[in-house]
């Protein structure tokens, strides 16, 4: 059960936009609109940022947005801020009632 | 408010087992799925398994089948994850995470429990 593929790191300057990709297969990302994204600061539990590909939970900034095309989902952070510096993980429902996470992306604000 | 409070740090020898608890408050345990996710030092998140709202059905990642068991005690609103035949590679922080039925995402997480496997 291999993990979803994410870039190891993405960086941007304050105010810029960055996009993190999450590539899976037709058995997970491509087969279901059940991709979620999590932000994790060092030593903390993950925090839900996006669910069902495009939806933001209450309280999450509208600078965070999600999308999907085929087997690849994406998270875009616009108007990058220092507080956005963290690790980000995608997750997808996978066939047979299981789940899979992405490899994780470290976002650095320059 | 919803809270998931996990048990404390554990140290085990190779071959032993560990049981981590996750006490839920602020909602009805029987109305939600509870998942377990782990994170080895410096590594990514790894989904391990889930117990369904009925407390009977479970699903486990193939990697852990045969040595993982997720159980629930509704009288104390606590979910347990037991992992056996521990190896050094099982050293990780273990998280519980809640899922609203059929939502397929994890909206609340426990604070994590560090399990260290070392001789």
- Measured in degrees and rounded to the nearest 5, phi and psi for residue B59 equal -140, 135
Question: What is the rounded CA–CA span in Å between residue A36 and residue B108?
Answer: 13
| pLDDT tens-digit map of B6-47 | 999 999 999 999 999 999 999 999 999 999 999 999 999 999
Do the chains contact at B45 and A96, CB–CB below 8 Å? no
Mean of per-residue pLDDT scores for chain B: 97
**Contact A91/B50, CB-based, under 8 Å?**
no
- Residue A75, class by beta-carbon neighbours within 10 Å (0-12 exposed, 13-18 middle, 19+ buried)? buried
Q: What is the share, in percent, of chain B residues with pLDDT greater than 70?
A: 100
Q: What does the pLDDT read at residue A94?
A: 93
Which residue matches tokens 């980000």?
A88
Distance from CA of A22 to the nearest CA of B (A): 14
Looking at the predicted structure, is the pLDDT value of residue A1 above 70? no
Specify the pLDDT at position A95.
84
Region A43-63: what's the mean pLDDT? 97
A93 touches chain B (CB under 8 A): yes
Q: How many CB atoms lie under 10 A from the CB of residue A76?
A: 14
B92 and B37 Cβ atoms separated by less than 8 Å: no
Rounded CA-CA distance B49/B80 in Å is: 11
d(Cα A100, Cα A92) in Å, to the nearest integer? Answer: 6
């Amino acid at each position: 059960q291999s993990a979803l593929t994410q870039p190891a790191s993405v960086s941007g300057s304050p105010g810029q936009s960055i996009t993190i990709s999450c590539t899976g297969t037709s058995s997970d990302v491509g087969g279901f609109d059940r991709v979620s994204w999590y932000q994790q600061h060092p030593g903390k539990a993950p925090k839900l940022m996006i669910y069902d590909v495009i939806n933001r939970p209450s309280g999450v900034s509208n600078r965070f947005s999600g999308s999907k095309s085929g087997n690849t989902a994406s998270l875009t952070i616009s108007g990058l801020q220092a507080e956005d510096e963290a690790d980000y993980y995608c997750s997808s429902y996978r066939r047979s009632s299981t789940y899979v996470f992405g490899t994780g992306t470290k976002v650095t604000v320059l | 408010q919803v809270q998931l409070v996990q048990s404390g740090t554990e140290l085990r020898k190779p071959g032993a087992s560990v049981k981590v608890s996750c006490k839920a408050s602020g909602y009805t345990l029987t109305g939600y799925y509870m998942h377990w996710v782990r994170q080895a030092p410096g590594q990514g998140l790894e989904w391990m398994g889930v117990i369904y709202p009925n407390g009977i059905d479970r699903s486990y990642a193939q990697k852990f089948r045969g040595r993982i068991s997720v159980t629930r005690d509704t009288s104390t609103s606590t979910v347990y994850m037991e992992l056996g035949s521990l190896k050094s590679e099982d050293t990780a922080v273990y998280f519980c995470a809640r899922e609203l039925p059929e939502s397929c995402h994890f909206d609340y997480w426990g604070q994590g429990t560090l399990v260290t496997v070392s001789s």
